[in-house]
Structure 1
Amino acid sequence: MNKTFLFEALHAATDEEMGRDPKVLVIGEDVGHYGGSYKVTKDLHTKYGDLRILDTPIAENSFTGLAIGAAMTGLKPIIEGMNMSFLLLAFNQIANNVGMLRYTSGGNFHLPLVIRGPGGIGRQLGPEHSQRLEAYFQGIPGLRIVACSTPYNAKGLLKSAIRSENPVIFFEHVLLYNLQEEIPSEEYTLPLNKAEVVKKGEDITILTYSRMRYNVLQAVDTLVDQNYDPEIIDLISLKPLDMETIATSIRKTHKVIIVEECMRTGGIGAELTAQIIEQLFDQLDAPVIRLSSQDIPTPYNGTLEQATIVQPNQIVNAVKQIC
């Protein structure tokens, strides 16, 4: 076991897969000699060369198109968005090409493509750099969406995403790169379509993902001291949702709270609520509670920024209310 930062886990996954498969390459701004804005590709250009760790101009639509063409010809590109918000400039390529080409080509083309990079609400990065894009991408047919949350799952999930024959949007949170934990020294992969039961419990199911996993864990420390016994599930797979794991939990607790950093309107929590009500309505003893970020551009002001995000005390109060 090695103690590893999350950005190092992503670096190791990329390095291992590039060493394993010569078709894997990285495309993005400053991924080469600079090593990526969060050092996920640090020094890889010296090992694999400037054509496999390809620095691009500031032109997201263009280099996303380049990666799509490369994938169609059999390569396995990893697109790094310096900030995932910037990939809105490539939304046409992602929606009309990445999601559709396997279908519109009658299966003649595969898109083994990973689009990864930092997203979410940081610390005073301003509205344009604090967007939660999982809601933007979830409605696009043909995409799989994954959100890592620990060094362990970041490495295992990224390796699986790179090996996938279909496109994966891979969300990392800008505030989790310096998270550190021990991960196995031997090779491992993790399934892209499975949620993780972080803590077993009997009283209520709390569904969350990405950075909000840690706000939930803070809240649960308080709740356990007050004799509540919540079950925590990290969704990990945002599309498709692992409804099997979710259903097993709800059939046990009969109550559910969703905690997300995504927008309330049209967010992951909204889709998750719809599926729970469609599939598990008779199992619920109370309405589903959604705790989401407010539907406003994220303020630059630090105090206002915190006021837009779900805080641990709000989670504690919601559990007490529903229980």
Structure 2
Amino acid sequence: MNVSILREVLADAVIDTAKLIPFLFLTYLLMEWLEEKTGEKTVSIIRKNGRWGPVIGAALGVVPQCGFSAAAASLYSGGLITVGTLLAIFLSTSDEMLPIMISEAVSPMTIGKILLAKILLGLLFGIGIDTLNKLRHRWKKDKEKHIHDLCEQDHCHCEEGNVFLSALRHTIQIVIFIFIFTFVIGLLIELVGENAIGTFLTSRPVTGVLLSALIGLIPNCGASVTITELYLRGILSSGQMIAGLLVGAGVGLMVLFRTNRRLVENLKITGILYLSGVLGGWIIELTGIVF
């Protein structure tokens, strides 16, 4: 590749990433403050509302709180919430999508539509799974777990009592992901061409949804960063974006496999999560919904 093109892509990646830093930091600062004030109350509400769990989980899970999906995984492992509630929270949780879209100055109406779609689909699949799974399995926890302990174990960097430091660390983490992603995508576009990439995905809506959902399963914030950025660049369609973001539960899956000793059950939940994301993406594709 021409050195001048490499330098140009690198410079663009640095500039594009630098522009996002203040917006990302302010967004995460607000999110950390909200978690500090409301995090435990949110978990308590879901914990106390058995059959309404999927409804409450889908509604409250849409706000990306650090460790919320991790807390849900722990509560499920202790038999305190249903599998439908767990899936509703996983499916509605937005992970890094919300702060990135805010920092990119995406229309509030567009963001609202995407969040509403995630809530409704999370609710639909959560209630559906609980309906099919009438025989609920409950068991005692081996030991008490705490949301902040899980968050710390899985490198979420939630510093209890210091929202400024938590926001700063989270911002740095995401900025690194965004910079790497922007640089790699920039090179890819230069080599292949944005039109060629877009044509490949949009001409294969079924395959595109399957691949996007597969990326979303990666238990890392980089997955939602990648999917959101691809959508904002016009490379992913609305259905492909929704499929990836639906299954993007942050560290929730990682914590589930760590806290729940039933490996086969965890694999089934992962499969159902993936299938739900794919079906949700196809629903958006087939109905022609555009955000």
Q: What's the TM-score once normalised by structure 2's chain length?
A: 0.28
The structure richer in helix per residue is 2
The structure richer in strand per residue is 1
